[in-house]
């Protein structure tokens, strides 16, 4: 694999998208939304080349139909794309259908059926628990046994580049008697890894079956209003605090491309129930980073983490999701939970990086950050590092805009 090259020269250098990656997206270069494959600095316009798929699978600009077609079609397409983009013999036919990424806008790569967000970062759960309940009760009693999750809002999922408007909501300070309606003052990010369910299920599935159902992965930023969450979340969990936006990276990196980067989940402190045990490594080693760019100023990397910190793999989470008999559908999106490492500079949220605002983060230009400020652009990046290449995800970015003006009917 390390020696495989593409005839697309930009795919062979410093790029997220070498021939080993071939991630799937939807792009618009001014001539309409189409399905595409990233290769170096370019996008292959899939529908314009001899892709070997049933054309009905490309009838709408979204990867759901290809997912529905199943693992055999996924393998055939990947083999065909590898051939088209590595074999010089295809160059003449294919090269006219490469479009520059710099001249294209990326759109949502798939229709999100439903969105579930998990809580599988042990350092994150411990940090948050320590802040809210003290170090002795940091991890909830169920955490080492259950891949805790909650249902998020699919309508809130947006593609990288979409601006995010600071939300309004009910908040109540510890010294206040009554709640106020206010723009969130503790608006935050969460560094997560998203798994896309590519095959449906009805009834319980094993971890091995769950792994086979996963089509690919994206980076995911679960924007979170901590002040709204603190007031609303007892007893039924986060709701409006998490419904403003969830940003995903534009390229679906396939499970096949990540195969060489599998690692096991961390050693268990408590044995898992049999239905959650992994028959083989189902986690991944992927370098992650979070960058913050103030409205005016340079970008600054505020955290570096790794998907290998996750205590539960997406396959384990998906298997757990089905225990109740819950039907899973093509296009379901599963967020991993915030991925924080052990060190302070590997924390995946500003809540943790600023320790609830008590230790504001200092940026090199002298600014400080406890939470996200208007105009800030937050970007997640990630790449699995191979021998001489990397499998990257592209930027998962969003700029925060000021809260809207309060409508008349919401004023006192």
Please identify every residue annotated as catalytic: 124
Regarding 47 and contact with a copy of itself (CB under 8 A), the answer is no
Of 16 and 117, nearer to a copy of itself (C-beta) is: 117
Neighbours of 400 (CB within 10 A): 23
Question: In the set 23, 149, 348, 392, which binds a copy of itself (CB under 8 A)?
Answer: 149
241-260 binders of a copy of itself (CB under 8 A): 241, 243-245
Number of residues that bind a copy of itself (CB under 8 A): 67
Cβ neighbors of 77 (< 8 A, separation 6 or more) are 51, 52, 53, 66
Of 233 and 300, nearer to a copy of itself (C-beta) is: 233
Q: What sections of 253-337 are H helices per DSSP?
A: 255-258, 314-321
195-214 binders of a copy of itself (CB under 8 A): 203-204, 206-208
Regarding 175 and contact with a copy of itself (CB under 8 A), the answer is no
* Residue 40 CA: distances (Å) to CA of 4, 123, 392: 14, 35, 11
The answer to the question of whether 133 is labelled as a binding residue is yes
Three-state DSSP class for 84?
Answer: helix
Would the CA dihedral through 35, 38, 42, 47 be positive or negative?
negative
The answer to the question of whether 101 is labelled as a binding residue is no
352, 355, 356, 357: CA torsion to nearest 10: -120
Residue 365: is it exposed, middle or buried by C-beta count within 10 angstroms (0-12/13-18/19+)?
exposed
CB distance 197 to 65 below 8 Å = no
Question: In the set 12, 151, 162, 399, which binds a copy of itself (CB under 8 A)?
Answer: 151
> Which residue has 């091995």 as its token pair?
208
The answer to the question of whether 233 is labelled as a binding residue is yes
62, 63, 69, 74: CA torsion to nearest 10: 160
Regarding 111 and contact with a copy of itself (CB under 8 A), the answer is no
Q: At its nearest, how many Å lie between a copy of itself and the CB of residue 235?
A: 6
Question: In the set 13, 173, 176, 181, which binds a copy of itself (CB under 8 A)?
Answer: 181
The answer to the question of whether 119 is labelled as a binding residue is yes
The answer to the question of whether 323 is labelled as a binding residue is no
Regarding 185 and contact with a copy of itself (CB under 8 A), the answer is no
Q: At its nearest, how many Å lie between a copy of itself and the CB of residue 146?
A: 6
The CA-based diameter of the chain, rounded to the nearest angstrom, is 73
- In the complex, the residues that contact a copy of itself under the rule CB under 8 A are 113-114, 119, 140-142, 145-146, 148-156, 165, 167-170, 172, 178-181, 203-204, 206-208, 225, 228, 231-241, 243-245, 270, 273-275, 320-321, 323-329, 404, 407, 409-412
């Amino acid at each position: 694999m390390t020696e495989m090259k593409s005839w697309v020269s930009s795919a062979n250098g410093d790029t997220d998208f070498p021939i080993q990656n071939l991630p799937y997206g939807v792009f618009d270069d001014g001539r309409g939304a189409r399905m595409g494959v990233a290769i170096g600095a370019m996008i292959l316009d899939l529908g314009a080349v001899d892709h070997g798929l049933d054309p009905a699978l490309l009838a709408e600009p979204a990867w759901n139909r290809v997912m529905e077609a199943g693992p055999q079609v996924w393998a055939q397409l990947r083999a065909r794309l590898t051939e088209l983009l590595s074999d010089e013999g295809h160059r003449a036919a294919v090269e006219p259908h490469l479009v520059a990424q710099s001249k294209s806008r990326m759109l949502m790569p798939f229709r999100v059926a439903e969105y579930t967000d998990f809580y599988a970062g042990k350092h994150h759960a411990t940090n948050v628990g320590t802040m809210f309940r003290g170090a002795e009760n940091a991890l909830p009693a169920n955490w080492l046994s259950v891949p805790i999750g909650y249902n998020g809002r699919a309508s809130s999922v947006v593609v990288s580049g979409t601006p995010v408007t600071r939300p309004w909501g009910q908040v109540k300070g510890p010294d206040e008697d009554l709640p106020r309606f206010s723009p969130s003052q503790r608006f935050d990010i969460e560094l997560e890894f998203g798994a896309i369910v590519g095959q449906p299920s009805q009834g319980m599935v094993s971890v091995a079956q769950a792994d086979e159902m996963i089509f690919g992965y994206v980076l995911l930023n679960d924007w979170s209003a901590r002040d709204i969450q603190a007031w609303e979340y007892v007893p039924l969990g986060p709701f409006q605090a998490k419904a403003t936006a969830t940003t995903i990276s534009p390229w679906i990196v396939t499970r096949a491309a990540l195969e060489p980067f599998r690692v096991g989940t961390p050693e268990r402190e408590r044995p898992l129930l049999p239905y959650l045990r992994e028959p083989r490594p189902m986690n991944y080693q992927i370098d992650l980073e979070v960058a913050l760019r103030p409205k005016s100023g340079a970008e600054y990397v505020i955290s570096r983490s790794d998907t290998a910190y996750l205590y539960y793999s997406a396959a384990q989470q998906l298997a757990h999701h089905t225990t109740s008999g819950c039907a899973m559908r093509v296009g379901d999106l599963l967020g991993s939970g915030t991925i924080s490492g052990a060190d302070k500079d590997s924390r995946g949220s500003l809540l943790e990086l600023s320790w609830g605002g008590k230790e504001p983060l200092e940026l090199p230009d002298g600014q400080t950050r406890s939470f996200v400020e208007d105009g800030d652009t937050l970007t997640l990046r990630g790449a699995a590092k191979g021998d001489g290449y990397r499998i990257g995800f592209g930027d998962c970015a969003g700029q925060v805009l000021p809260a809207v003006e309060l409508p008349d009917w919401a004023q006192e």
